């Protein structure tokens, strides 16, 4: 984690500020901003720890984070993966005082920690602002729910196809991207073994549906992946 990030953020071009100032006065936004803490995290660093006290929302300026959950037996699951810019942590604001998930950097991330108390004070005065932000933060929970529907009703081929489609369309925004996720992380996301991930990716590569070049993946036939997803 790097604390000296004065040159990383341009607050005037920040999406969070652009959204907020549609509803808030400059003084109200300044009351939030002055208590916000800008930070930089490298790949693999823990941004938020499951079970820890929830005191901040997170605005992910740039980078990719994974939401992980460890069950009582110590097994890790990746609930969802998200890319910035995005506001995270809205569910904790009124309903939980501890973090439900851990947030871990999948690649270098620039974030702002937003003080919950200052944020709540402003939110309580602006219902439209509250609804707008919750609509945006609910996206990460939607993807988590859809992932569990996939896990419950699909075989390994369908799960991995879903993950490749999701990463392409929602995270990397491209049909060609560097896999910043390890094979182990994909197995945690798909709730299957590491061996199943390697075997399935190799088969898709041989069939020409995807091309694997080191850490790079190229999706050659997105429609074929969607067919595999539908078949489950």
Query: 213: part of which helix (H) or strand (E)?
Result: strand 210-213
Per-residue confidence band for 90, with pLDDT thresholds at 50, 70 and 90: low
109-136: average pLDDT = 80
**Structural domain span for residue 146:** 11-151
Q: Report how far residue 162's alpha carbon sits from residue 222's, in angstroms, rounded to the nearest whole number.
A: 11
The predicted-structure confidence for 25-49, as pLDDT tens digits, reads as follows 888 888 888 888 899 999 999 998 9
Res 95 pLDDT > 60: no
Q: Give Cα separations from 43 to 47, 88, 115, 134, 211 (angstroms).
A: 10, 18, 24, 27, 25
The residue among 151, 180, 209 that closes a domain is 151
Whole-number Å distance between alpha carbons of 110 and 2: 9
- Mean pLDDT (the chain) is 83
- Residues 166, 102 share a domain: no
For 140-190, write each residue's pLDDT tens digit: 666 666 666 666 678 889 989 989 998 998 889 999 998 888 889 999 988
Of 136, 151, 166, which closes a domain?
151
Q: Is residue 63 located within the same domain as residue 134?
A: yes
Does pLDDT of 94 surpass 60? Answer: no
* DSSP code at position 216: E
Specify the pLDDT at position 101: 84
- Could you tell me if 167 and 142 lie in one domain? no
**How many domains does the structure of the chain reveal?**
2
């Amino acid at each position: 984690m790097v604390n000296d990030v004065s040159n990383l953020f341009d607050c005037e071009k920040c999406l969070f500020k652009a959204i907020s100032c549609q509803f808030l006065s400059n003084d109200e936004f300044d009351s939030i901003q002055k208590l916000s803490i800008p930070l930089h995290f490298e790949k693999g660093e823990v941004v938020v720890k499951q079970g820890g006290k929830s005191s901040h929302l997170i605005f992910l300026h740039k980078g990719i984070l994974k939401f992980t959950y460890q069950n009582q037996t110590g097994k890790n699951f990746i609930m969802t993966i998200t890319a910035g810019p995005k506001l995270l942590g809205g569910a904790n604001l009124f309903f939980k005082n501890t973090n439900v998930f851990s947030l871990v950097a999948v690649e270098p991330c620039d974030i702002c920690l937003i003080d919950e108390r200052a944020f709540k004070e402003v939110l309580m005065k602006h219902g439209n602002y509250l609804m707008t932000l919750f609509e945006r933060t609910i996206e990460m929970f939607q993807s988590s729910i859809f992932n569990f529907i996939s896990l419950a009703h699909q075989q390994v081929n369908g799960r991995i196809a879903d993950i490749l489609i999701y990463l392409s369309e929602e995270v990397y925004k491209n049909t060609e991207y560097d896999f910043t996720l390890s094979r182990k992380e994909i197995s945690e996301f798909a709730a299957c073994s590491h061996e199943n991930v390697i075997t399935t990716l190799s088969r898709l590569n041989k069939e020409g549906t995807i091309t694997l070049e080191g850490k790079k993946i190229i999706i050659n036939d997105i429609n074929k992946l969607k067919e595999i997803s539908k078949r489950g």
